[in-house]
Amino acid sequence: MPKVDFSLYLITARNVLPADKDLLDALRAALQGGARCIQLREKEMAAADLLVLARDVRALTREFDARLLINSNIDLALECQADGVHLGISSPSVAAARRRLGKDAIIGFSAHSLDDLHSAEREGADFVTFSPIYFTPSKAAYGAPQGVGKLREFCRNASIPVFALGGIKLERVTEVLDAGAAGVALISAILAQSDPESATRDFLQRLHTAGNI
């Protein structure tokens, strides 16, 4: 079985949750809807609180036979027995993560250029996200949207799966898959919704349909 056997990559962000929603409840709903890989990305949390949360999310993902990746923190990934990590330019290197986590760990990388992609490939990343494809406030710091044309060029040059990230809405799934993406990485499209379970089901259905056209 390939390591990257999912097409929907859910990234956490407590700040997008509706006021009446708890992160664990929202993640449970998404898992009930079919999500099978979650990246825990809560950079503002204190280390002790993050460890507690990571252990809770690990237990939840195990309940659903889903994968858990930890953003940047290799020590935390080891401590909570996560399936791997998701790294970026300011994180430890992919090679360093591979040495510590082993050959079976899943390692993702946040790429914003072809140089980022090729570096991640050389060091042994299993997949990359490419962003932002469309405008989204959470990715505004990374500059103007890349657009579908750049996504297509990026995917053409990639030897590992590419997940489109940034402003991905249900109606945009088909065009990003047509551009070569292996799947979509989502934050608000799932976690900001009143019904994360239904939102997840809708995306997975669209991914399945678009992937079989």
Residue 146 has pLDDT above 60, yes or no: yes
User: Is 41 a residue of the active site?
Assistant: yes
Residues 114 and 157 sit within 8 Å (Cβ to Cβ): yes
Interval 64-93: pLDDT, tens: 999 999 999 999 999 999 999 999 999 999
pLDDT of residue 74: 98
User: Is 198 a residue of the active site?
Assistant: no
Is the pTM higher than 0.85? The answer reads: yes
The mean pLDDT value of the chain amounts to 96
122-138 in b/e burial notation, b at 16+ Cβ within 10 A?
Answer: ebbbbbbbbbbbbebeb
CATH superfamily, domain at 8-211? Aldolase class I (3.20.20.70)
Name the catalytic one among 14, 41, 152, 201.
Answer: 41
Interval 33-75: pLDDT, tens: 999 999 999 999 999 999 999 999 999 999 999 999 999 999 9
Residue 213 has pLDDT above 80, yes or no: no
Interval 178-198: pLDDT, tens: 999 999 999 999 999 999 999
User: Is 139 a residue of the active site?
Assistant: yes
Name the catalytic one among 28, 36, 67, 139.
Answer: 139
Q: Where are the beta strands (DSSP E) in the chain?
A: 8-11, 37-40, 67-71, 84-87, 106-111, 127-130, 162-165, 183-186
pLDDT of residue 212: 62
One DSSP character per residue, 13-71 reads -GGGS-TT--HHHHHHHHHHTT--EEEE--TTS-HHHHHHHHHHHHHHHHHTT-EEEEE
